[in-house]
Amino acid sequence: MTSSLLLPLEQHKVVVIIRGIAPAYMSDLFQALYDGGIRMAEITLNSEHALESISMMRKAYDGRMMVGAGTVLNEASAKDAIAAGAQFLVSPNVDEGMIRYAVSNGVLPLPGAMTATEVVQAVRFGSPVVKIFPCASLGPNYIKELKGPLNDIPMLAVGGINEDNVADYMNAGAIGVGIGGSMVNKEWIHSGRFDLIRDYATKLRANMGIK
């Protein structure tokens, strides 16, 4: 089960983080992401009407994009997110209940860790991959350093990722990246410039060497 859960991330490599975006913008936003080649996007649970948005986008993009939930801090939140249709769960922390509930329901967990101890703990709880966060403070060399002793653990780099530094994180050994505000730009969204989001996604993927 573990290896199969990881396959979408291995294939698509980019998880888009959608935080603080109202449901009214979701359809246009997801279309822009899809047109830009994005196939995995998470809606954080601390966003307005998050579960509603997850359910809505899961139905609209079923079979075309994986829709996940972010800021899933515990098992209770995991249950709510999966009930709404979330196909993967992302958190800033390592919570055993969240990880085990996700895996037992065939849903990919992406627990957030910073230290080597936290990374190993997440794997021990059953996660096939660990989100390294916050990379905005740690930088790509930190991924490389962690991969030294922990080279067999897939790591997703999250925090401060943009089109200019994404290749550095991939070269450091990340399996993929999570990207938020630099792509999901609220000014672009509120002004209706979803074409800029599409173009950003296209360029980011090109910089990663993804066709």
Q: What is the mean pLDDT of residues 45-55?
A: 97
Assess if residue 210 is contained within a domain.
no
d(CA 205, CA 16): 12
140: containing domain? 2-203
Assess if residue 211 is contained within a domain.
no
One of 48, 131, 163, 187 is an active-site residue; which one? Answer: 131
Assess if residue 70 is contained within a domain.
yes
Is 131 tagged catalytic? yes
Lowest mean pLDDT among 2-6, 33-37, 80-84, 110-114: 2-6
Q: What is the mean pLDDT of residues 32-48?
A: 98
Q: How many domains does the chain have?
A: 1
Assess if residue 33 is contained within a domain.
yes
Q: What is the mean pLDDT of residues 74-96?
A: 98
**How distant, in Å, are the alpha carbons of 16, 22, 183, 184, 190 from that of 187?**
17, 13, 11, 9, 5
Assess if residue 208 is contained within a domain.
no
- Residue 1: pLDDT band (50, 70, 90) is very low
Q: Count Cβ atoms below 10 Å from residue 199 Cβ, excluding itself.
A: 14
Assess if residue 209 is contained within a domain.
no
Is 42 tagged catalytic? yes
One of 13, 42, 163, 203 is an active-site residue; which one? Answer: 42
pLDDT surpassing 80 at residue 211: no
Q: Where residue 133 sits, what CATH number does that domain have?
A: 3.20.20.70
* Residues contacting residue 191 through CB under 8 Å, at least 6 positions apart: none
pLDDT of residue 210: 86
Q: Which residues pair with 40 in a beta bridge?
A: 66
Assess if residue 48 is contained within a domain.
yes
Assess if residue 148 is contained within a domain.
yes
pLDDT surpassing 60 at residue 90: yes
